[in-house]
Amino acid sequence: MSQLILFNKPYGVLSQFTDPDGRPTLADYVRESGVYAAGRLDFDSEGLLLLTDDGQLQHTIAHPRNKLPKTYWVQVEGAIDAEALAALRAGVTLKDGKTAPAKARQLSEPVVWPRTPPIRERKSIPTSWLELTIREGRNRQVRRMTAAVGFPTLRLIRVAIGNWKLDTLQPGEYRKEQVTLPRAPGGNKPRNPGKSGSDNRSASRAKPRDRTKPGTTARPAGRPAAPPRRPRKPSR
């Protein structure tokens, strides 16, 4: 089984364990050794970040080909409207191409921890929240999507990756789970790296019983016995 860590990354923390510029990193919060981030979460974003000690699990979570859904709570500038939500659901055109269709819905203001520092907020312009689920992993994608429909992102919190959820974790907290990777497609066990048809048993076997008579030398298996030698005639 593989170890999986669900970490609530605070705002202003890098999704890595070292930084030459001395900024806060995962090492300031996660005390487990031998684990690495499966994917990334921007420095100015908050919420769920997964870490694991298993390279295959890390690849399964992070690789875009697997398209794990990622769900975000997004606070935007302005009152989000039905037209903007429809555009997000259909996919919006960014500089690097059109995004895949997303799940988007308006969200009542959630009960979440206060951010440090607080968001940049203008008194003359209201803010609103939406829940957005995407299956892509482009750079700063959510922020670019909301800006493209006219509602810049002020705060971004990731609350779920696949079936893993943030739940009640507070910033800087984490919990550990044990994960078993699924079997290969078709439910077959991984093939044994030895010969085809091997049943994975140990190669050692019981030795055959020694049937050599006392005072004689055993011959190699499979070699026929030599014919008996004729007695030599006495010399005259």
Q: Within a domain: residue 13?
A: yes
Q: Within a domain: residue 216?
A: no
Domain boundary among 161, 176, 206: 161
Q: What is the pLDDT of residue 199?
A: 28
The structure tokens listed for 10 are 């605070």
- Residues 86, 230: Cα–Cα separation, whole Å: 105
Query: 154 and 84 in one domain?
Result: yes
List the CATH number of the domain containing 112.
3.30.70.1560
Q: Within a domain: residue 226?
A: no
The structure tokens listed for 77 are 């500038």
**Can you give the C-alpha Rg of the chain in angstroms?**
32
Query: 73 and 58 in one domain?
Result: no
DSSP 152-212: -EEEEEEEEETTEE-TTPPTT-EEEEEE-PPPPTTSPPPPPSSSTT-----S--PPPP--P
Q: What is the pLDDT of residue 228?
A: 53
Query: 80 and 142 in one domain?
Result: yes
List the CATH number of the domain containing 3.
3.30.70.580
Q: What is the pLDDT of residue 137?
A: 85
Query: 76 and 45 in one domain?
Result: no
Query: 129 and 49 in one domain?
Result: no
Q: What is the pLDDT of residue 47?
A: 98
How many domains is the chain built from?
Answer: 2
Q: What is the pLDDT of residue 154?
A: 97
Query: 81 and 40 in one domain?
Result: no
Q: Within a domain: residue 52?
A: yes
Query: 153 and 170 in one domain?
Result: no
Query: 140 and 33 in one domain?
Result: no
Query: 118 and 100 in one domain?
Result: yes
Q: What is the pLDDT of residue 194?
A: 28
Q: Which of 19, 21, 28, 42 is catalytic?
A: 42
Q: Within a domain: residue 228?
A: no
Q: Within a domain: residue 117?
A: yes
Q: What is the pLDDT of residue 232?
A: 57
Q: Within a domain: residue 200?
A: no
Query: 178 and 108 in one domain?
Result: no
Query: 73 and 151 in one domain?
Result: yes
Q: Which domain holds residue 128?
A: 69-161
Q: Within a domain: residue 39?
A: yes
* Low-confidence residues in the chain, pLDDT < 70: 182-236
Model pTM score: 0.76
Active site residue 42: yes
Residue pLDDT, tens place only, 39-96:
999 999 999 999 999 999 999 898 878 889 999 999 999 999 999 999 999 999 999 9
Q: What is the pLDDT of residue 9?
A: 98
Query: 83 and 142 in one domain?
Result: yes
